[in-house]
Amino acid sequence: MFRKTKKSRFRLKTPWFDPNNLTDRPIVRPKGMHRKTFDRLKAQELELKGQCLSHLSVSLDKLENTIN
């Protein structure tokens, strides 16, 4: 899931880890990319990011339960 999200951000020309992007500033459409393609990729990226965060949350809960 992490790899898919990273690939999606790469296609949007948005760096995966950018200190300035920690606040989830809006993703700007790359020059030359069609609006329809950009909207599709952006929606895909948001969905994948949500799935990635939910998997991370589940993993952290399991880790917390094993520690306690």
Give the closest residue to 48 by CA, choosing from 22, 23, 16: 16
Q: How confident is the model at residue 19 (pLDDT cuts 50, 70, 90)?
A: very low
pTM of the entire structure?
A: 0.62
According to the model, what pLDDT value does residue 34 have?
93
**Dihedral of alpha carbons 32, 52, 4, 43, sign:** negative
Domain count, the chain: 1
According to the model, what pLDDT value does residue 36 have?
95
Tell me how far apart the alpha carbons of residues 28 and 18 are, in angstroms, rounded to a whole number. Answer: 14
Residue 52: domain span: 2-67
